[in-house]
Amino acid sequence: RIRYEASLETFDAYRAMFLDPRHKGNELGITEEQVRSIRTPSLLIHGREDKVVPPEVSWTMLHLLQDADLHVFARCGHWTQIERAAEFNELVADFLRG
């Protein structure tokens, strides 16, 4: 809960970092076509109970990326690498090993 409240304080700064005013309605400043063109194998990791970035964002990316896997941790919020550290590290290590 403390981490979530802290994230709310920095949300505007986070948005400002990614907001590209040239792309109205597209806060990451990248088009769907540009995402679809990415061919690099990708691992998406999300916490099911994430209240900062909804899990639907990862589902959208999963469908746009050509070569992506998605792992959703149950009983986990925004900081998967902290909240489920051992499992997160194993998952990433396995992905990097190919």
- 3-state secondary structure (DSSP) of residue 51: coil
Catalytic entry in 23, 63, 71, 78? 78
Q: pLDDT at position 38, please? A: 94
Tell me the whole-structure pTM to 2 decimals.
Answer: 0.73
Residue with tokens 């070569």: 67
pLDDT single digits (tens) 36-48: 999 999 999 999 9
How would CATH label the architecture of 2-97? 3-Layer(aba) Sandwich (3.40)
Give the start-to-end residue ranges of the domains of the chain.
2-97
63 is catalytic: no
CB within 8 Å of 33: residues ≥ 6 apart: none
CB-based contact 45:71 (threshold 8 Å): yes
